[in-house]
Structure 1
Amino acid sequence: MTQPTDLSATSAAKSWQYFAVLITVAAFLLLSKLAWWQWQRAEEKTRQLQQIASWQQQDGVPVTQLKELSLPALDGAPLRGQVRWLSPYIWLLDNQIVNGRVGYDVVVPVQAQDNKFLLNLGWIEGRSDRADLPQVAIPEVIELQGVLRTEPRPFLLGQNIESGNGYPQRIQAVLPLQLAEASGLRLADAVFYQQQSSFIPHYKPVTLPPEKHRAYALQWALLAVAVVFVALAVRYQRGQHE
């Protein structure tokens, strides 16, 4: 006759087995998803680099034609021509580090005929007192030399634009449509990164190369396989002792 304690122990063992299988499957799916996500990022970065390289072989797009063309198709394109700063708007992108020093990227709205968009002029060092924003001098007319980006979009938690009167204003992310609403300007959903200015240009189209993403994808995939092998090994060991 089976004792109640034996039935209880058997039930607990089966419950633990189901729980272990559930945890293993969940871990495998999560790690596999991370591997696939990194692989997709590698493919995306490869396409971006190819498109930018293709644009660099051309003379560039006249800035006056910006409104006539599809913005996503212009990602990575160099623009040619002059633009005029739309005074008094100046935004300082917070937490930008260059050569180990903390500062801001200077972002301003500019216009060429009916085309209005954001221009990142480069980096300026911050002051020891964060309440004291650096004062910047923006030229009235700027000759474009750089690259237009329509992707990617930064992720933001919390408030973007710090409240305050006058300019410059500190921001946490360059979100063209949000800055357009705040300023009342009709800005294109894109940012042009100037490569020559009185500030320090430091923008890189791709900070993490595709090879890195593929290496991370391989690591996550190997971890997913390892989880399954560990679970099978544990199950085998328990079977040997039953």
Structure 2
Amino acid sequence: MQASKNRMTSFIAESPGRLGRRSTALKSSGKRLVWLCLLAMAVLPFFLAAWQWQRAQEKAELLRSLTSAIGVPPVSLIYREARPQPEFSRVALPGAQPAGPALLLENSYLGEVKGRRMLQPWRLEDGAMALLDLGWLADGVTPPAVDPKTLTLRGHWMPLPRHFVLPGAVAGVEGRVDAIDMAALRQRYPGHWHQGVVVLEHSPDPLRHWPVLPEFMPERHYAYAAQWLLLGLLLLLSLHSLRRRSHEPRR
């Protein structure tokens, strides 16, 4: 009985010390977590700077391709089994005819103006299919009835337009759509399909030519990268200064 009382007394005497050490360990762990979060926030701008730099490189390559293609005479778009990717080259579509109704791709911004891109499937002279971008139309403007005979069938062969759509968006092959359903297009219009879309050089009124050059030039992305890099350096310097002050002895 006496031994039990002695052990209890010893445990009670040691408990404050143990609780103090546990509290200190928890505080130290909490501080480390805070420093890790601050470090992650300081490093994040460097990842964003690298991403903007990569975007600038991509836009620069695109700009070089388009610049070299603008002065080259258009060549006939001919289907090949190898199915090359769109090369931003100038192409001509002699003998092509519309194969079906047009579709209006919603949420297509020209600058800051919201509108729709008017796209239409066409069958080329060799029987292959291609999607033509007839032009852009601001919201609220009635889509025109385009006479194929008035079109100059020359343009730039570019990748298929893609933009962010929310769940429940309408993907279709005619009328007003939020996204292009290429699988349904291939099923409705059988045959060999060219990848991408041919953006016509001249659009009939009231349609406006969809710009071939990228909306953001490479210089803007380089500037964004420099801004993120500078912000990251400032955050790292601030974090280093804060950590050094935390280790200084208190007076």
| TM class by smaller structure | 0.7 to 0.9
Could you tell me how far 1:84 is from its partner in structure 2?
1.0
Amino acid at match of 1:30: L
Amino acid at match of 2:130: F
Identity of aligned residues (%): 22
Distance 1:179 1:117, change over 3 A: farther
TM-score, normalised with respect to structure 1: 0.79
In the alignment, structure 1 residue 67 sits paired with structure 2 residue 75:
no
The answer to whether the Cα contact below 8 Å between 1:154 and 1:174 also exists between their aligned partners in 2 is no
Distance 1:182 1:220, change over 3 A: farther
Which residue number corresponds to residue 110 of structure 1?
122
Distance 1:15 1:223, change over 3 A: same
Which residue number corresponds to residue 7 of structure 2?
none
* Structure 1 gaps, min length 5: 129-133
State how far apart, in whole Å, the 1-side matches of 2:215 and 2:23 are: 55
Which residue number corresponds to residue 150 of structure 1?
159
Which residue number corresponds to residue 19 of structure 1?
33
The number of residue pairs the alignment matches comes to: 230
Q: Please identify runs of 4+ aligned residues in structure 1 that moved more than 6 A.
A: none
Give the counterpart of 2:175 among 169, 181, 184. Answer: 169
* Bigger Rg, which one: 2
Amino acid at match of 1:123: W
Could you tell me how far 1:126 is from its partner in structure 2?
3.4
Which residue number corresponds to residue 95 of structure 1?
107
Distance 1:179 1:229, change over 3 A: farther
Measured on the aligned residues, the alpha-carbon RMSD in Å equals: 3.0
Amino acid at match of 1:50: R
State how far apart, in whole Å, the 2-side matches of 1:103 and 1:212 are: 24
Which residue number corresponds to residue 46 of structure 1?
60
State how far apart, in whole Å, the 1-side matches of 2:137 and 2:161 are: 23
State how far apart, in whole Å, the 2-side matches of 1:22 and 1:152 are: 41
* Structure 2 gaps, min length 5: 1-13
The answer to whether the Cα contact below 8 Å between 1:85 and 1:138 also exists between their aligned partners in 2 is no
Give the counterpart of 2:199 among 185, 193, 199. Answer: 193
State how far apart, in whole Å, the 2-side matches of 1:115 and 1:95 are: 29
Distance 1:185 1:25, change over 3 A: farther
Which residue number corresponds to residue 131 of structure 1?
none
Which residue number corresponds to residue 241 of structure 2?
233
The answer to whether the Cα contact below 8 Å between 1:122 and 1:201 also exists between their aligned partners in 2 is yes
State how far apart, in whole Å, the 1-side matches of 2:161 and 2:144 are: 27
Distance 1:159 1:107, change over 3 A: farther
- CA deviation string 1:11-43 (max 9, x = no partner): 243123311232133224432221111111111
The answer to whether the Cα contact below 8 Å between 1:31 and 1:221 also exists between their aligned partners in 2 is yes
Could you tell me how far 1:71 is from its partner in structure 2?
2.9
State how far apart, in whole Å, the 2-side matches of 1:183 and 1:94 are: 21
State how far apart, in whole Å, the 2-side matches of 1:157 and 1:179 are: 20
The answer to whether the Cα contact below 8 Å between 2:171 and 2:180 also exists between their aligned partners in 1 is no
Give the counterpart of 1:85 among 84, 92, 98. Answer: 98
What SS does the aligned partner of 2:80 have? helix
The answer to whether the Cα contact below 8 Å between 2:83 and 2:194 also exists between their aligned partners in 1 is no
